[in-house]
Amino acid sequence: MDRFESMSILLAVAEAGSLSAASRRRGMPLATVSRRVSDLEAHLGTRLLNRSSRRLTLTDAGQSYVAACRRILEELDEAERAASGEYRAPKGNLVVTAPIVFGRLHVLPIAVAFLKAYPEIDIRMALADRLINIVEEHVDLAVRIGTLPDSSLLARRVGEIRRVACASPAYFAERGMPVSPRDLASHDCITFEGLASPAAWTFMMDKTETSVPVHSRLSVNRAEAAIDAAIAGAGITRVLSYQVADAVAAGTLVIALEAFEPARWPVSLVHAGQGPLALKLRAFLDFATPRLRATLKS
């Protein structure tokens, strides 16, 4: 039995929550995953998993063993990376995650340029609007928008994002430009899931963040759809500044109520920062930081 391989498979099962999910993640047959875990249990002489038709959980022994496996495999990975020269020359695989739209507009072009500058580094980019656990999912670097919670992760701030209200010039010509956030109650608003409630938006009024009722005539589930509707003249939408930068520059959208915008959200590059920083990660941080700061400068 390949002990390290079996430990890695068990760790995948624990992280994925099921044998079938682990088989998909590892790209191996379900029967092989199940057999490797059973062989490991037989070798240890104890049960590691509680199996049922509905769910799979770790036994007490399994929890302790999985924690030890994770530590051992991380130390092995560090030793192999050091021996292969990854700490002497930038090379290897780099996993980067970012929000979908921000990643496509701003991180992907940087990644493409980085690959040309560093031919011995390969990048896997995971674009997702969910909060990815970079330690559990083995991500080297995450682009995070918003205030970061206290954690052991290390962060490098690269800029800020505004929350802006905007509409087409034609809409404002017909309905008038709102002077105060309270004027939004008499305007047609376009809302989407995720950024704000469809019933109220937050603005800074009298130095305090205040929730202001809005009339949501159109609700969609994607920011891109809200932006398209606003360009078409359907009303005022509330989005993140980078999402409409091109439309504002082209004159198809106009920003309103700038004096009342709420506090800006920071944009940070986040990584685990445990042990020596691999040169591939350091190279990407140094490459991406000035470019993102230039992009987000306002």
pLDDT tens per residue, range 33-67: 889 999 999 999 999 998 776 678 889 998 899 88
Confidence of residue 191 (pLDDT cuts 50, 70, 90): very high
Query: Among 193, 175, 194, which Cα is nearest to 185's?
Result: 175
Q: Distance between CA 9 and CA 23 in Å, rounded?
A: 9
Percent of the chain with pLDDT over 70: 93
CATH topology of domain 92-161+265-296: D-Maltodextrin-Binding Protein; domain 2 (3.40.190)
If you ran DSSP here, which 8-state letter would residue 193 be given? T
SS3 18: coil
More confident residue, 85 or 294: 294
Residue 131: partners with Cβ closer than 8 Å, 6 or more residues away? none
User: Do the Cβ atoms of 267 and 144 come closer than 8 Å?
Assistant: yes
Write down the domain spans for the chain: 3-83, 92-161+265-296, 163-260
Mean pLDDT of 189-206: 84
Residue 266 in this model has a pLDDT that exceeds 90 = yes
Helix axes 3-16, 19-26, angle to 10 degrees: 120
Q: Over the Cα atoms of the chain, what is R_g?
A: 24
Confidence of residue 234 (pLDDT cuts 50, 70, 90): very high
Burial class (CB in 10 A: 0-12, 13-18, 19+), 27: exposed
Helix axes 60-83, 3-16, angle to 10 degrees: 120
CATH topology of domain 163-260: D-Maltodextrin-Binding Protein; domain 2 (3.40.190)
Mean pLDDT of the chain: 88
Q: Distance between CA 147 and CA 149 in Å, rounded?
A: 7
Residue 196 is predicted with a pLDDT of: 63
Residue 16 is predicted with a pLDDT of: 82
Dihedral class, residue 286 (left if φ above 0, else alpha if ψ from -120 to 50, else beta) = alpha
Token duo for residue 76: 């092995």
Burial class (CB in 10 A: 0-12, 13-18, 19+), 129: middle
Residue 51: partners with Cβ closer than 8 Å, 6 or more residues away? none
More confident residue, 4 or 218: 218
The residues facing 170 across adjacent strands are none
Give the least confident one: 2-6, 37-41, 202-206, 217-221: 2-6
Alpha helices in the chain (DSSP H): 3-16, 19-26, 30-44, 60-83, 100-102, 108-117, 169-175, 223-231, 245-250, 279-296
pLDDT 10s digits, 143-174: 999 888 767 788 999 999 999 999 999 999 99
Same CATH topology for 92-161+265-296 and 163-260?
A: yes
Percent of the chain with pLDDT over 90: 52
Confidence of residue 116 (pLDDT cuts 50, 70, 90): very high
Residue appearing with tokens 């995070």: 144
Q: Distance between CA 136 and CA 139 in Å, rounded?
A: 8
More confident residue, 35 or 76: 35
Residue 267 is predicted with a pLDDT of: 94
CATH architecture of 3-83: Orthogonal Bundle (1.10)
